[in-house]
Structure 1
Amino acid sequence: MSLRVEIVGTLHAADEALISTKTEGVLRRTFVEVGAEVDPGTPLAQVDRVSYEVAVAAAEAALSETLARLGTPDVPDETFDLTEVSAVQRATAQFENAKYTYERLSRLGTTVAEQELNDAAARLRVTEADRRLALDEAAALAATAGERAALLRSARQKLTDTLTPAPPLPTTLGREGAQRWVVAERLVTEGQYVNVAEALYRLIVMDPLKLRSRVPERYAGVVRVGQAVELETLGRTAPVVGRITRISPDIEASSRTFEVEALVDNDGGATKAGTFATGVIVAEDETPVLVVSAEAIARVGGVTRVAVVKDGTATWREIRSGRESKLEVEVLSGVEEGERVILRPNSALRDGIRVAEKQR
């Protein structure tokens, strides 16, 4: 049975992003206004750069001073040789000289005064300690260089972050399209002081739009992802076409309905987000069912009936209906396959009245 499940709902932006600043300061410039279309990466707002430029210069100077003391133009890594540092080389040379002097005096034996030998031994111990201290200081200096390099990267990133760009477009829409953002709201003004994480703009995706609608529980078995949706909106003569992308697994107990979402083509943004829409889900049910023409249905006082014709005599029969479309109504009980019914039955029709059959 082919069904056209009637729905109503609101067309929302398929996605939206609240754009916030990563830095604080005076907002020097806003680049776009409400309604503008922007590509990913387009500049949106600029925070004053001066204090961040000063911070970068200070971080560069501090790192340069540390690297100069290490005697290298590059930030040391795990392969850096501490023995190449000039202070370590000087301490090593003094240690080697003291070691040579002590060994030379030791070989002379009794010809050397005991005090002179003791002085040489003491100098050897001092220069050895100085060498170890120079190595420790060089290691600490290398660590300081790494820390200052990280601070410089952070300062440069903050300087970059004074310019807020439009973010990448969402990749979860399940289709191509969505090539640009649209500015839905500007939340700040030039000259205003903004804090970190303060909202600047609200951007939305206008094509496609996302329909959210609630569907009666009885259609849970036939409404599926991928089915077509045909919608009508005020101000547009042609129907808006889309496809179901998500179906809620829950049925709301109070209304006995479940929510569906559909992505709907928007012809480059012709329909505004928030527009009310009416339409149908074009559903297909492969299970054989018994149906009658919608024209055969008569409803009085909450009772659904059809007029059945047998041997030229009409009889009203109450039925239990199921799914409905504009052309057909599913019959769950009350009539059997092959029985004939009267189309557009007159309310004055009485049981047992003779009728002339005319097939259609």
Structure 2
Amino acid sequence: MLTLAALLAAPALLLSGCGSSSGDAAEQASAKAAGAASPAAPAAYPAVQVTAAPPAQALTLPGELESFYQTDITPRVSAYVRRVNVDIGDHVRAGQVLAELDAPELTAALSEALSKQKAAEATAQGSRGSYRRLRQTSHTAGAVSPLAVDQARTLAASDSLAVVAARAHYRAAAQMAAYLRLTAPFAGTITERTAAPGALVSQGGAPLFKLKQLNPLRLRVAVPEAYVGEIQNGNPVQFTVRAFPGRTFTGKLTRTAGSVQAATRSEQVELDIPNPKEELKPGMFASASLPVQARANSLFVPKTAVVNTAERTYLIRVANGRTELVDVQLGDENAGQVQVFGKLRAGDVVLKSGSEELAAGQPVQVAMR
């Protein structure tokens, strides 16, 4: 049997347990609220140090092969195609007739001009003969009046000038008729043909042929501004193309543009490429290795650290816990690293992944990688 004292103590114990549970829950809720109210620590940006290393002595740059000369063969007169003498892939020599056109009105104009020239020459010959006879007769006193001699001399001079005009007119008509024969301006290969016998072509219309010179070729390469001072004409340059894996071709640097393009900050250079077997084709992409002089150590950063915008190219340097935007120029690339030129020193801390969202003077925390 429970005693009276035990019965009286039970309610007190129950009330005590409930009070303790309620107190613990309140304390836990208060702790959670306090934790939510406390600010979270800012995230740290991955950062790296600017490294110094010797630059490459050979600069590998992409380029494109182009024909040394190329032109579109376009008709200069409106006519019908009478005969096509060449096709795609044919090798032609300078002056070779590629196609013949037919325009009866030009042929008729040439015949008319020739007739007028012959008539003018005959008239001038008769006038000169009359003048010579009158001049000889004038030596006999009273045989011919001086006025008649002067008139004969004037007529002979006028008819001579008419011959000059007729000959010029004939040469013009002959030149127009010569346009009916389309010829090659230089030796090369026909790479495109649209002409067909019977087709009507017009002056300044679509080209009938595309002619390209395949030996030698040109290789055009854009050299970054940082290396412009080290490029010299006459240097041999080796390059490769995908069409011939494992083979290396050689050309000579012959021409430089003499101007740096503002859009790409590079100078266009050209190499002459001997192509006696015509293995290389215009339009092929090439990877050229341009020799450059060895210089002092250069600064390198990961390519991801560079921020490129329409206005500038820069890195985000962190000094004293704040960001600084440092303008740079880019150089050679190698294994994910890019050469940079600017107000930097080896050991400077820059963000590994640059972003336009970070402004100058912004406080940041970094984690070195």
Normalising by the smaller structure, the TM-score range is 0.5 to 0.7
- Is 1:218 the counterpart of 2:236 in the alignment? no
1:186 to 174, 188, 193: 193
How many residue pairs get matched?
264
- The residue aligned with 1:158 is 176
Ranges in structure 2 where 5+ consecutive residues have no aligned partner: 1-54, 307-329, 348-369
With over 3 angstroms needed to count, the CA separation of the structure-2 counterparts of 1:138 and 1:302, relative to structure 1, is closer
- The residue aligned with 1:136 is 154
Deviation at 1:181, TM superposition (A): 0.8
- The residue aligned with 2:50 is none
Deviation at 1:325, TM superposition (A): 7.8
Q: Answer whether contact 1:290 1:330 (CA < 8 A) is retained.
A: no
Structure 1: how far apart are the matches of 2:217 and 2:297?
37
Structure 1: how far apart are the matches of 2:74 and 2:138?
59
With over 3 angstroms needed to count, the CA separation of the structure-2 counterparts of 1:276 and 1:207, relative to structure 1, is same
2:80 to 22, 26, 33: 26
Structure 2: how far apart are the matches of 1:254 and 1:131?
77
With over 3 angstroms needed to count, the CA separation of the structure-2 counterparts of 1:129 and 1:239, relative to structure 1, is same
Higher alpha-carbon Rg: 2
- The residue aligned with 1:265 is 274
- Is 1:202 the counterpart of 2:220 in the alignment? no
2:131 to 71, 85, 88: 88
- The residue aligned with 2:235 is 227
SS of 1:28 mapped into structure 2: strand
1:240 to 238, 241, 249: 249
SS of 2:215 mapped into structure 1: coil
Structure 1: how far apart are the matches of 2:140 and 2:265?
94
CA distances 1:160-205 after superposition (whole Å, capped 9, x unpaired):
332121113xxxxxxxxxxx41112224332223334543322112
Structure 1: how far apart are the matches of 2:133 and 2:263?
86
SS of 1:157 mapped into structure 2: helix
Deviation at 1:49, TM superposition (A): 6.1
Q: Answer whether contact 1:7 1:214 (CA < 8 A) is retained.
A: yes
Q: Answer whether contact 2:78 2:103 (CA < 8 A) is retained.
A: no
Deviation at 1:8, TM superposition (A): 1.0
Structure 1: how far apart are the matches of 2:139 and 2:331?
101
SS of 1:278 mapped into structure 2: strand
SS of 2:208 mapped into structure 1: strand
With over 3 angstroms needed to count, the CA separation of the structure-2 counterparts of 1:248 and 1:143, relative to structure 1, is closer
Deviation at 1:144, TM superposition (A): 1.0
SS of 2:230 mapped into structure 1: coil
Structure 2: how far apart are the matches of 1:37 and 1:152?
34
For residue 272 of structure 1, what is the amino acid of its counterpart? K
Deviation at 1:90, TM superposition (A): 6.4
For residue 55 of structure 1, what is the amino acid of its counterpart? A
For residue 162 of structure 1, what is the amino acid of its counterpart? L
With over 3 angstroms needed to count, the CA separation of the structure-2 counterparts of 1:95 and 1:13, relative to structure 1, is closer
Structure 1: how far apart are the matches of 2:331 and 2:101?
62
With over 3 angstroms needed to count, the CA separation of the structure-2 counterparts of 1:254 and 1:135, relative to structure 1, is closer
Structure 2: how far apart are the matches of 1:66 and 1:281?
67
Alignment of 1:1-360 (within 5 A): 3-48=57-102, 50-71=104-125, 85-88=128-131, 99=142, 127-168=145-186, 180-198=187-205, 199-237=207-245, 238-285=247-294, 289=296
Q: Answer whether contact 2:301 2:339 (CA < 8 A) is retained.
A: no
CA distances 1:274-308 after superposition (whole Å, capped 9, x unpaired):
112223112344x6x459xxxxx9969859xxxxx
Structure 2: how far apart are the matches of 1:298 and 1:196?
58
Deviation at 1:128, TM superposition (A): 4.4
Structure 2: how far apart are the matches of 1:226 and 1:241?
12
CA RMSD of aligned residues (A): 3.8
For residue 281 of structure 1, what is the amino acid of its counterpart? L
With over 3 angstroms needed to count, the CA separation of the structure-2 counterparts of 1:90 and 1:6, relative to structure 1, is closer
SS of 1:191 mapped into structure 2: coil
Deviation at 1:42, TM superposition (A): 1.3
TM-score (norm 2): 0.59
Q: Answer whether contact 1:3 1:324 (CA < 8 A) is retained.
A: no
Structure 2: how far apart are the matches of 1:87 and 1:300?
93
- The residue aligned with 1:348 is none
For residue 72 of structure 2, what is the amino acid of its counterpart? L
For residue 212 of structure 2, what is the amino acid of its counterpart? I
Deviation at 1:41, TM superposition (A): 1.3
SS of 1:266 mapped into structure 2: coil
Moved more, 211-220 or 140-149: 211-220
Deviation at 1:5, TM superposition (A): 0.3
Structure 2: how far apart are the matches of 1:325 and 1:245?
27
